[in-house]
Every structure is written in C-alpha cells, then in structure tokens.
Structure 1
Amino acid sequence: MIKYTNNQITFMQYIFLIHGAQLGVGLLTLPRELAEKAGTDGWIALVIGWLFSTLASLIIIQVMKNYPNGTIIDLVTHYFGKWIGKIAAFIFALYFAFLGSIVFIREGLFIQFWVLPQTDLFILLFLLSIPSYMIVRNNITILGRYAELVFFMTTWMLFFYFSPLKEAHWLHLLPIIKEGWKPILTAAKTTIFSFLGFEIAFFLYPFLQKKQKASIGIVIANTLTLAVYIIVTIVAFSFYSPDEITQYKEPTINLLKIVEFRFLERLEIVFLSIYIFVISTTVLPLFFATVFCTTQLFGKQDHSKYVVWLLLLNLVYVFFLPQSFGRNTQLQKGVEPISLIIGYAFPLCLWGYLWFYSRIKRRALK
C-alpha cells in the first residue's frame, strides 16, 4: 500500500527542496572559512565536497529503492522491526531539530547584526516563527511549492556578484595548488559539511512523483549548490587579497558594498533581507522532517501541534540563554560529527547491509 500518494512533489520541487536545504547560512561565511584553511585554493575543496556529497546522495537513493513507498523510518521498521524503527525516528527527529534550530537562530543573529541591531533576538525569532508555522504545518506539497517559488524569486541575486569582478585581481588565484594538497584536503571537510542537507532525500523519496528521476534530481541539486558556492567563492577570492578576506566574518555580504545605485544605498542590507527567504528554505525542510519523525514516533497523523511545540522550545531556549555567533558556531561544530555519520556513514553502512541481505535472500530462494 502506498502511504503518501495524496502528498506528492514534482521533479522540480524535489530538486529545489534539496538545494534549498543545502544552501542556507553557510554561503555567507564559506569563502572566509575556505581561505583560512586552504587560501585561494579553497575552491578546489568545493569540488571535492561536491563529489563526496553526490556519491552519498546516490547511495541514499539506492537505499530508498529497497522500500520506495516509505521513508527511511518505514524502511528501518520493515527490515529491523518496530522498536528499531522507533529509535531511528527519535534519532532523526533529534538530529533535524538540533540542526534546524542552529540555522534558525543563526538566521535571527544575522538579521539582528546587519538589519535590526536594536531589536531583541527573541522578538526576531518570534516574528520568524509565525510564517514558519504557517508553512510547516502544511504537507510536503506546500513546502515543495514554497521552495520552488523562492528559487525563482531569488535567482537574480546571484548576478550581483558579477559586479565586483570589474575590480578583480585574478593573480590572487595563482599559482594553483600553491601549498600542496594537504590544506585543500583539510578544507574539504568544511565543504563536505556545507553540502549537507541532501539527507532530507530520506524523507522526500516516497513523495516524489517520478521516482525513476530521483538520482538525476539529487545530482542536479548538488550541482546547483556547487555552482552557487563556486561563483561566490571565486569572486571573493579574486576581489579580496588572500589575507584581507580572512578579516571579514561574512565576506559574501561585504562584497556587495561596492555595488551602488543612485536610488539605493546599502545594497547589502536589501540583499540580506531578501536572502532570508533562501535561509528559510533550509530551516523549513529541517523543521518539517523533525515533526514528521515525531509523528512517526508517536503514531500520529497530524503534525501541526508538534510544529507549535518545536517553535516554542526554540523561543524558550533563546529567552533563557543569551545567543551569540560564537555560541552558535560552537553548537554547529558540535553537530558536525553527527551530521557526517547520518549523511555519509549511515547510508553507506545501510546500503551495504541491504545489498548483503538481498543476496542472502536470493540464495535462500534458489
């Protein structure tokens, strides 16, 4: 029996949901982080990160083909039993809730720092919680439509990054691999984490209308993310000197300060205000996956009340514990090993088990 036929997403929505879950706030700081570890060769690490994320994504699709009409929770329950399925639902719910909260709070911190410095972070997150609830309380189809809308609504923003190229110094990028492969491989860990978000495919696969296109769709999503990262990173590396770029917390935003219009000042503020929509396409799928896993854990159908509790917990946390970029970064670094396990190690191990299980089953039937 197909459980999710009433809430399906198109091929395009599938791509934009995965791409949106990957992009997020990481783009704002990524050029600096790469420059600190690998200098202007950091863009090579992006290609390595794309390669690993694409391989892991394709493994996820191969895993889900073993149970095409269910999510990863249904698959684990089918092969390992009810209680292991409950444990998997709990772990995934905790993981997505923690990761989504980190990005959600960082989104508020960026707004507070760049746009509304006099406004309390609690107020900002409360205001962000209202539209978040309105979208996440609906089904995955609405979330897919939102991701599709935001993609086409914000794609034009990328073209502003070609403006600083008129003052670019391409010699900053030369020579290539100037310090060897060790710094590049060190930076590759950062890029591998930057591509995380593709694991949302564990929950998108059963909703996809044309499942035969799942593999090409997830490759396109990863490649779109790579294209955005590469463009912004190379522009930043060619505009700033290798030492100068490390002095800016968010060089991606600072780049826009040189873009001027007669009718508009502080373009970077307008840019960030619109970029909030892009960040939301990271937060909302993570929140949806959280409440979806919670409903699976408790055997419920309606997930809307869990969205309320999730947002309230975030607000209570921010209200009682003062937040800062430093604290948020520490939490992000703390979740990185878990993300690598769930995004890369877990799919590989599960795929190996299912492959071995299917071979044994076929031999038993002979």
Structure 2
Amino acid sequence: MKPYALNDITLMQYIMLINGMSVSFGFIEIPGMMATKVGTDGWITILISGLITMAASFITIQLMKKSPHGTLFDLLKQKFGTWAGRAAAILFALYFLLYAYDGLIYTVRLIKGRMLMETPAFLIMLMLLLPTYTIVRNGLRIVGRYAEFAVFISLWIPLVYMYTVKHLHVLYLLPILKGGWQPVLSAVPGTLFYYLGFVSSIILYPFIKHQKKAPIALLIANSLSILSYLSITLICTMFLSPDEATIIHQPAIYVLKSIELSFIEQVEGLFIAFYAFIFSLSWIPPLYFTVFCLSWVMGRADHRIPLRLILFMIGTSSIFYIPTYDELEKISIWLGESGIAIEYAAPSCLIALLWIYGRVKTERNQL
C-alpha cells in the first residue's frame, strides 16, 4: 500500500493545483509585462516560455518516477542519506513559503487598492488567513478539492472577455517580429516566473491515484496555462494601442471597463471578487507544501503545528509591516530567480546526479 494513499488526489485535482498555482496572479500581470518588454510580439514569448516549461515539467515527472511511492525527499534519503533528504526538504519549504508570501501580499495589495481602500491591510490579511487555515489543516485531499472548486467557480471569467471582441483591432498585432527576435527571447527568463508551480509534482506525485497518467495531466495543466496567458495577452494587445498598453496598469482589468451589462455596474469589481478564489491558489497549496516539507523534516505526520506557527507569524507581522508595491516587486524578483533554479535547473541536475550514482554503484558491484 502507498504510504500516502489515505490522502490521495485525482488527476483533475492535480491539474487544477498545477494550473491554479501558475495562472493565479500571472493572468493579470502578464499582459502588462509583455507590452512593456516585448510589445505586440509578447504572445511569441509566452509560447516559447510555455514550451520550455513543458520540457522542464516532464523532466520533473521522470525524476519522480524513480520514487513512485514517495516524495523527492524520500528518494534522496534512500540514495544519499537522511541529511540530503532533510536539506532538500528545508530548501523547498523556504521556496514554497516565499511563493505563498508573495501571493498573499499581492492579493492584499490588489484587494485594498481596487475594492477595500479604507480597510487596513492587516485586516485583509487576517481575513485571508482564517479560511486558509481551515483548508490547509485538513490535508492535501481538501486542498485539491478546493482547487477544483476555485477553478470551476471562475469558469465564467473567460466568457466575459468575449464581450470585448467588438473593440479589438487585429492590425495592432502587425507586423510580427517588428523588433526582431532579440526582445522576444530576452523576455523569456522573466516570463518563466509566471509558469512557476509545476515543481510541486515532487510532493503531489505519490498522492496521485493514477500515476501513469500524470504526464498527460501535466501536459493538460501546462496547456491550460499557455492558453490562458495567450488569450488574455492577445485580447489586451488588440484592445489597447501599442502606446496605451505600456502605460496602463494591469490591462487585464482595464479592458473590463469597456463591458456594459444591464444587471451589474462594475464588471471589474465582480471580476476581482471572484478571481480572488484563483488568487488563493498562489498561497494555499504552497502553504500546504511548506508545512508538509517541515513535517517531513521533523518526522511528524501532523502538519498543523507548523501551519499554526507560520500563519501566526505572517498575521502578526502584517499588523506592523506590509511590503509596498516596490518591495513586492523585489520579492517577486527573488521568487523568479530562485524558481528558475529550483524548478527548471534542479530536476535536470538531480536526474544527472542519480544517473551517475547508479553507474558508480553498478561498477562497484561488478568489482
């Protein structure tokens, strides 16, 4: 019997967790980032970054196939000793904690700036942390079910953007590659930030019911992320002129101002309210992964104690200090740089290391 069978997740939940973590706040930010750095050719950068992410994701899956009934930490412990497993678990705990904190601060700033201007930021933070504790404390199965709920309740959002079709100008996309390949390729490292989250497979893989279908599920999750980013970037690019796109903050929300519905006054307000469920996937699953890693290090099955400690520290610190937008941007840069190292580079290095380890062990046995 698998050691994690009592808390297993379905392939649909696996897809929603991976896709939700990557799309979350990237859906709003990526059109503006593409307009500033690439211009109207941003959709090409998104495609290239998406293909790179797919390749890195499949490398991660190949790594986890070496330990189908355990996490990466169990694999490292088995091959190199307890110290290697604990070191990796602590490293990933810190990474997922940074991921979750970045998502929390971004959401607090967005809600305060767009909806609750008069509400203190620490109160918004506390309102977010209370349901977070309720969900995370009950384990991965509940986190997976929440991810399904968050995605399905937000499926109406892409349909709303269809109302902007009459305002789109396809000619804004032309000519293609007007600045050559250099701007397109130079923006790829920064775009990879918006695809982060797939490395959670190192924890999710042993929980999946049908592990043989995990590569297909990961392909679907990454394809949904690429499709989401492509659609919103193309809509914003064709809605705004090239000059407007570079000066308007969060174009994905701005274009909603053109939509007029008889039964609602401000579509963008409703969008933010419902999209908060998607935002929550940028911190709820990472917080679970954080406490899972810490519990693994301590050898405890109960993750609620580290969860309470982390949430208490975040909630208490928010009373005295909330990062500004400039500081949040620095946090995102740190997350992006560490994410490229941990999610894109580390799995390939570990596979190479395990291959060398296997060859050396085989040669020693033959002596």
Q: TM-score range by the shorter chain?
A: over 0.9
For 1:204, give the aligned amino acid.
L
In the TM superposition, residue 127 of structure 1 has moved relative to its aligned partner by 0.7
> 1:96 corresponds to which letter in structure 2?
F
Partner amino acid, structure 1, of 2:230:
I
| Gap runs ≥5 in structure 2 | none
Aligned partner of residue 6 in structure 1, secondary structure: helix
**1:264 paired residue number:** 264
Q: Deviations over 1:12-41 (max 9, x none)?
A: 111111111111112111111011111000
The TM-score, its normalising length taken from structure 1, stands at: 0.97
Amino acid at match of 1:324: T
Match of 1:262, SS?
coil
Counterpart of 1:61, as a letter, is: I
Q: Decide whether the 8 Å contact of 1:162 with 1:235 is kept in 2.
A: no
What is aligned with 1:164?
164
Residue 27 of structure 2 corresponds to 27
Deviation at 1:362, TM superposition (A): 4.6
In the alignment, is the contact (CA less than 8 A) between 1:165 and 1:238 conserved in 2? no
Partner amino acid, structure 2, of 1:239 = F
Question: Would you say 1:101 and 2:101 are equivalent positions?
Answer: yes
Quote the residue 1:49 is aligned against.
49
Quote the residue 1:147 is aligned against: 147
1:339-366 CA-to-partner distances (Å, cap 9, x unmatched) read 1100011001001122233344455556
Aligned AA for 2:296? Answer: Q
Determine the C-alpha separation between the residues in 2 that align with 1:312 and 1:246.
39
What is the CA deviation profile of residues 267-317 of structure 1, one whole-angstrom value per residue up to 9, with x for unaligned ones? 101110000001112211100000000101111111112222111211223
Amino acid in the other structure paired with 1:115: M
Q: Partner of 1:129 in structure 2?
A: 129
**2: CA distance, partners of 1:164 / 1:224:** 21
| Residues 60, 201 of structure 2: 8 Å contact kept | yes
Cα offsets for 1:148-183 (capped at 9, x unmatched): 122211112111112112111111100111110010
Question: 1:306 is matched by which residue type in structure 2?
Answer: P
Indicate conservation of the 8 Å contact 1:40/1:172, yes or no.
yes
Helix, strand or coil for the counterpart of 2:106? helix
Offset of residue 323 of structure 1: 2.5
Alignment-derived partner of residue 185 in structure 2: 185
Q: Check conservation: 1:34, 1:190, Cα contact below 8 A.
A: no
1:312 is matched with: 312
Between the aligned partners of 1:80 and 1:361, the Cα distance in structure 2 is 12
CA RMSD after TM alignment: 1.3
Contact 2:92 2:290 in 1 (8 A): yes
Structure 1 unaligned spans of 5+: none
> Identity percentage over the alignment?
38
Distance 2:294 2:218 in 1: 25
Residue 98 of structure 1 aligns to which amino acid in structure 2? L
Q: Does 1:237 align with 2:245?
A: no
- Name the counterpart of 2:295: 295
Give SS of 2:68's match.
coil
Give me the TM-score of the superposition, normalised by structure 2: 0.97
Contact 2:99 2:282 in 1 (8 A): no
2:7 aligns to what SS in structure 1? coil
